[in-house]
Amino acid sequence: MAASLLPASGVDLVYLDPPFGTGRRREGQAGAYADQWKGSGQHVSWLAECCERLWPALRAGGTLWLHLDARSVHHLRLALDRVLVDGTCRNEVVWCYNGGGVPRRDFPRKHDLLLRYVKKGDWTFHAIRRPYKANTQAVGRHSTRAKETAIDLDWGTPQTDWWADIPTVTGWSPERLGYPTQKPQALLSRLIAATSNPNDVVVDLFMGSGTTLLAAASLGRRYLGVDNSKAACDLAARRLAPWQAAAWDWAP
Ligand SMILES: C[S@@+](CC[C@H](N)C(=O)[O-])C[C@H]1O[C@@H](n2cnc3c(N)ncnc32)[C@H](O)[C@@H]1O
């Protein structure tokens, strides 16, 4: 991407959901993209270079999220630890889900991994809380010890790095658009809310159907999306049409 497209003051948050290195062509009713490489080494070095080239555009304290699965995440973790100057991997978030195919001779692979890199500086983090489980609440409300320790059961418990409460976009999800590997808006909303502030600039270089941009717009962030598929760009533009006026108003 041309550096001139990015704000001179720096980008606050980057989210990358690239092709995962499956070796397949991903097809859906609303678009398709190639995920075919000459071996995993080519995929890993391409992606590491994308991150390395984008990294200087991130402001000090800015966050880069890289969404992958178990095929390549460990290779990328090692590569990014080397090339992202002043970067620290602060979390490896595991997104767990159900549905889809089940192999006969392996455990079904039902999680993705999201690396959260932060550039040295005053980074943004807003803790998120989730409700306690029903049995914890039931015990807590009747136990003398819980009353003594003043645990606020209504406030909830901190969301950990293990996210098992956000379903994938399936054939019957109301938000499904038919774009291959479309991510749920709830996933993007959570990570944007936790690691950026209102009016921050959020960038997605592999925007696909535009989920990141929609989540960013809904949370009052500015956004910029890129994709090398015209079908993806058209779809994302249609999805974001209700937000365009606001986006122009916020432009620096
Ligand atoms: C995993 S999908 C993104 C899905 C998206 N997060 C969503 O919720 O719809 C990856 C996207 O990367 C795009 N892509 C692949 N190679 C690219 C490249 N070199 N430059 C820009 N976009 C690319 C594909 O067209 C595809 O839309």
Q: What is the pLDDT of residue 142?
A: 73
Q: Which two tokens stand for residue 7?
A: 């704000």
Mean of pLDDT over the chain: 91
- Average pLDDT in the 226-235 region? 95
Residue nearest atom 5 of ligand 1, based on CA coordinates = 208
Q: According to the model, what pLDDT value does residue 128 have? A: 94
- Whether 2 has a pLDDT exceeding 50, the answer reads no
Mean pLDDT of 220-237: 95
Binned at pLDDT 50, 70 and 90, residue 145 comes out as: low
pLDDT confidence of residue 227: 96
Collapsing DSSP to helix, strand or coil, 25 comes out as: strand
Percent share of the chain, pLDDT over 70: 92
Tell me, using a 6 A CB cutoff, whether residue 196 lines ligand 1. no
Could you please state the CATH topology (level 3) that the domain comprising 9-127+159-247 is classified under.
Rossmann fold (3.40.50)
**pLDDT for 11-38, tens place per residue?**
999 999 999 999 999 999 999 999 999 9
Region 146-168: what's the mean pLDDT? Answer: 85
Q: Is the CB of 20 under 6 A from ligand 1?
A: no
For residues 71 and 139, is the Cβ–Cβ distance under 8 A?
no
Cβ–ligand 1 contact at 43 (below 6 Å): no
**4 pLDDT band (50/70/90 cuts)?**
low
Residue 76 Cβ inside 6 Å of ligand 1? The answer reads: no
pLDDT at 44 over 70: yes
181 C-alpha to center of ligand 1: Å?
9
Would you say residue 10 has pLDDT above 50? Answer: yes
**Ligand 1 pocket member 232 (CB < 6 A):** yes
> What pairing do the DSSP bridges indicate for beta strands 222-225 and 31-35?
unpaired
What is the average per-residue pLDDT within 108-121? Answer: 97
User: Are residues 136 and 111 in contact, defined by beta-carbon separation less than 8 angstroms?
Assistant: no
